[in-house]
Amino acid sequence: MTRHLLDLACLGPRGLADLLLLAEEVKTHPREARYADALKGRTLGMLFHKASTRTRISFEVAMNQLGGSALLISTKDSQLGRGESVADTARTLSRYLDGLMIRTFEDERLAEWAEHATIPIINGLTDLHHPCQAVAYLLTVKERFGTVQGVSMAYVGDGNNVAHSLMEAAALSGMDLRVATPQGYEPDAEVSRRVRELCAEGGGRVTVTTDPKAAVDGVRAVYTDVWASMGQEEEKARRERDFAGFQVDDTLLAGAAGDAIFMHCLPAYRGLEVSAGVMDGLRSAVFDQAENRLHAQKAVLLTLLVGG
């Protein structure tokens, strides 16, 4: 049966733990033959319906450094743009490629690809999930604190795809996550229901509040994301009003533990969801986290394309 990475829930606690260990190992020994040539002769397709910097480049570099190659697929220049069905395209591409990474909008569309493809489908970001970003987050936390289990963290901002994948990551890895959103911007109800089940499996704890100060109190990691995600640009002005008081600035971060780090998946907008002082300050682990996208992606590719 073909394995896919549509969200973190499909991995389970053991699968996520193994993925994290592999990311650490390949980061430490990138030039060993078991990694440098692991994907020799294999090709990853990359299909984007949304703009990308880190996802596209990290996947392409990851494939190259693992001995394979990556191929960018344009919806505008392919028959997808002229109405060819996902089912037919998925079946065809499965004859050419070894895996397909997709960044798109609806999760239902991603599931359709997975249903008809006979190669692994990797979620490069959807409306509800951003799993590879969450793996990079876990890797960064483990590097800083030596473990992820029991580490407390606050997510402050929109209950979006990043928040959803962090909730799944925390639930499966035994973390204590507090999600603080303005009223009306809470995480998706069905995702929250599934996360409660995952907490029972992985030992994590996830709580949701509308109080950012309470969420940040004493935690060792503080995370935020843009207030208006891709496709929500027309809501930008309203969201800036609604998110007043949810900026991660020096005052809010002062409530965290003394060794707390700040994280952001980028792109960041200084002066909105995060102050310049925090973004560029000594507690910022933002660019370590950005680098870890590369190592997280390598672990995903090794796991799905050759079995780890």
Q: Say whether 221 sits in a helix, a strand or coil.
A: strand
- Mean pLDDT, residues 22-50: 94
pLDDT tens figures, 180-219: 999 999 999 999 999 999 999 999 999 999 999 999 999 9
Is pLDDT above 80 for 253? yes
SS3 content of the chain, % helix, strand, coil (to 5): 45, 15, 35
Q: Which two tokens stand for residue 169?
A: 């990551």
- Mean pLDDT, residues 74-102: 86
d(C-alpha 308, C-alpha 303), whole Å: 4
Residue 130 annotated to the active site = yes
DSSP state of 67: T
Residue 3 annotated to the active site = no
Catalytic option among 7, 42, 127, 133: 133
**Residue 77: per-residue pLDDT:** 65
Cα atoms in the Cβ-side hemisphere of radius 13 Å centred on 142: 24
**Residue 2: per-residue pLDDT:** 58
Catalytic option among 225, 247, 283, 295: 225
Residue 149 annotated to the active site = no
Is pLDDT above 50 for 158? yes
**Residue 237: per-residue pLDDT:** 87
Element (H, E) at 223: strand 221-224
CA-based torsion, 22, 23, 25, 29: positive or negative: positive
Reading phi first (left if > 0) and then psi (alpha if -120 to 50, else beta), residue 220 is in: alpha
Which residues are within 8 A (CB) of 54 and not within 5 positions of it... i.e. 6 or more apart? 265, 266, 290, 293
Is pLDDT above 80 for 81? no
Q: Which two tokens stand for residue 123?
A: 């979620």
Catalytic option among 42, 54, 103, 164: 103
Beta bridge partners of 209: 180
Q: What is the dihedral of CA 66, 128, 224, 16, to 10 degrees?
A: -50
- The full set of domains in the chain, from first to last, is 12-129+292-305 (3.40.50.1370), 131-289 (3.40.50.1370)
Highest mean pLDDT among 31-40, 78-87, 198-207, 225-234: 198-207
Beta bridge partners of 43: 69
Nearest residue to 287 (alpha-carbon basis) of 303, 306, 265:
265
- How much is the mean pLDDT over the chain? 94
Residue 129 annotated to the active site = no
Catalytic option among 132, 265, 283, 297: 265
Q: How many CB atoms lie within 10 A of CB 214?
A: 13
**8 A C-beta contact, residue 298 and residue 59:** no
Nearest residue to 138 (alpha-carbon basis) of 280, 283, 265, 46:
265
**Residue 58: per-residue pLDDT:** 97
Residue 133 annotated to the active site = yes
Catalytic option among 4, 49, 129, 130: 130
Distance in Å from the first CA to the final CA of the chain: 16
Is pLDDT above 60 for 41? yes
Is pLDDT above 50 for 1? no
Beta bridge partners of 228: none
DSSP state of 142: H
Nearest residue to 109 (alpha-carbon basis) of 166, 51, 47:
47
Residue 265 annotated to the active site = yes
d(C-alpha 195, C-alpha 175), whole Å: 12
**8 A C-beta contact, residue 102 and residue 60:** no
